[in-house]
């Protein structure tokens, strides 16, 4: 209870994590797999509103447009959708839901509320069938990591999860965002299945996020955090919140900052328990959550009553 309360209050540090997660964090810092060389200053003390405005102003959702090497030479301009992601909906959306895949959403009965939004974002292989009462059944967009496209267990080509929705894929690239290096050595080779899928389904909007966008988000998390964060890309959840902030007037985030239902159950659709799913090991998830909590517009007041914090189970950011 006290950890959750502190997270809501925004005063959590990695020292409060269990020893296994602390060790994982340290190992990622020393390995620095993606060659992160942060040149900015850490620990900027922006207020929630300042941070929100800075993110709105600075963050530029960028996808691979086929105009840069090596994609230009490979003829990708004709592979990527003609209409860029930012221009798909000229007037954007009014209110949007970002539905995290956390186990804590089970028994929330949030389904109807989630479906009442103009657009709903989901992640990876998170299903709606069988879970409608808690997670709803509307899906406008799905953010998928490169493992979804490459691991046969996910049945990317056949599964209905990936049909009739906007798809946005990403893969960890070097911090330098050198597209040539990334193309030769992606974490998981999403490029081939992407082109195949585009050929077969030319009318489905399907984008690959530009590594510059991913690392821009990482820089912002590090700039606003005192501790050194894991030198790995932010989680799909954080990436999704930022994409929706660029497309929606209001963003409602479900089960990112854990609710009273907090549990080690990693995903609502899988019987697998690991605290790392909620607090982070590879991803700088704890720090992402602290930033989002700082910008959060609801539930703040109830935190002045220690016993009341449990009423908060969703975040709501209004610009």
Residues 6+ apart with CB under 8 A from 262: 4, 104, 278
Single out the residue of 169, 217, 248, 266 in contact with ligand C5P (rule: CB under 6 A). 266
Residue 236 in contact with ligand C5P, rule: CB under 6 A: yes
- Please report how close the Cβ of residue 277 comes to ligand C5P at its closest, in angstroms: 4
Counting DSSP H helices and E strands in the chain, the numbers are 12, 7
For ligand C5P, which residue has the nearest CB? 237
Angle at 42 between CA 40 and CA 45, to 5 degrees: 120
Q: How many residues bind ligand C5P (CB under 6 A)?
A: 15
CB of residue 82 vs ligand C5P: minimum separation in angstroms?
Answer: 29
Using rule CB under 6 A, residue 123 touches ligand C5P? yes
Among 237, 245, 248, 293, binds ligand C5P (CB under 6 A): 237
Looking at the Cβ atoms of 110 and 179, the one nearer to ligand C5P is 110
Q: β-strand 166-170 against 314-318: which pairing, if any? A: unpaired
Which of 97, 100, 121, 208 binds ligand C5P (CB under 6 A)? It is 100
| CB-CB neighbours of 7 under 10 Å | 21
Residue 293 touching ligand C5P (CB under 6 A):
no
Candidates 23, 36, 116; CA nearest to 314 is 116
**Apex CA 197: angle with CA 194 and CA 200, to 5°?**
150
Sorted by sequence, the CB contacts under 8 Å of residue 6 that are 6+ apart come out as 12, 16
Considering the complex, state which of residue 79 and residue 117 has its C-beta at the smaller distance from ligand C5P: 117
Handedness of CA 190, 196, 200, 202 (dihedral sign): positive
Interacting stretch for ligand C5P, rule CB under 6 A, among 2-10, 87-95, 101-109, 167-175? 101-109
Rank residues 81 and 111 by Cβ distance to ligand C5P and give the closer one.
Answer: 111
Site string for ligand C5P, 48-87 (x = CB under 6 A): ----------------------------------------
Segment lying near ligand C5P (by CB under 6 A), choices 14-22, 39-47, 49-57, 233-241: 233-241
Beta carbon of residue 75, minimum distance to ligand C5P (angstroms, whole number): 31
- CA 195, CA 212: separation in Å to the nearest integer? 21
Long-range contacts of 20-23 (CB under 8 A, 24+ apart): 21/275, 21/276, 21/279, 21/280, 21/281
300 Cβ neighbours under 8 A, 6+ residues apart: none
Binding of residue 256 to ligand C5P (CB under 6 A): yes
- By beta-carbon proximity to ligand C5P, the closer residue of 80 and 230 is 230
Q: Which of 44, 50, 95, 124 binds ligand C5P (CB under 6 A)?
A: 124
- Residue reference for tokens 């007041």: 301
Binding site residues, ligand C5P, CB under 6 A: 100-103, 123-124, 235-238, 256, 266-267, 277-278
């Amino acid at each position: 209870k006290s950890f959750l309360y502190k997270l809501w209050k925004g005063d959590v540090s990695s020292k409060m994590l269990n020893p296994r997660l602390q060790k994982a964090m340290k190992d990622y810092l020393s390995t620095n797999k993606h060659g992160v060389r942060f040149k900015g200053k850490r620990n900027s003390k922006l207020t929630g509103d300042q941070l929100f405005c800075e993110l709105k102003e600075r963050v530029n959702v960028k996808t691979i447009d086929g105009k840069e090497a090596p994609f230009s030479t490979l003829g990708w301009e004709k592979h990527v959708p003609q209409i860029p992601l930012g221009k798909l909906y000229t007037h954007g959306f009014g209110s949007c839901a970002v539905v995290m895949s956390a186990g804590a959403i089970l028994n929330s009965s949030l389904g109807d509320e989630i479906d009442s939004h103009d657009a709903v974002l989901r992640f990876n292989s998170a299903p709606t069938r069988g879970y409608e009462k808690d997670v709803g059944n509307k899906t406008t967009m799905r953010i998928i990591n490169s493992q979804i496209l490459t691991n046969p267990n996910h049945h990317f080509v056949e599964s209905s999860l990936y049909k009739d929705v906007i798809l946005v894929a990403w893969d960890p690239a070097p911090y330098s965002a050198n597209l040539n290096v990334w193309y030769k050595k992606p974490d998981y080779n999403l490029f081939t299945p992407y082109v195949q899928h585009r050929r077969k389904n030319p009318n489905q909007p399907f984008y690959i996020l530009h590594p510059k966008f991913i690392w821009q988000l990482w820089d912002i998390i590090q700039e606003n955090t005192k501790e050194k964060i894991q030198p790995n890309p932010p989680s799909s959840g954080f990436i999704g919140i930022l994409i929706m902030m660029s497309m929606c007037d209001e963003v409602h985030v479900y089960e990112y900052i854990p609710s009273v239902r907090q549990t080690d159950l990693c995903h609502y659709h899988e019987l697998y328990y690991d605290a790392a799913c909620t607090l982070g090991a590879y991803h700088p998830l704890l720090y992402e959550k602290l930033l989002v909590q700082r910008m959060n517009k609801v539930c703040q007041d109830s935190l002045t009553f220690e016993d009341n914090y449990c009423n908060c189970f969703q975040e709501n950011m209004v610009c």
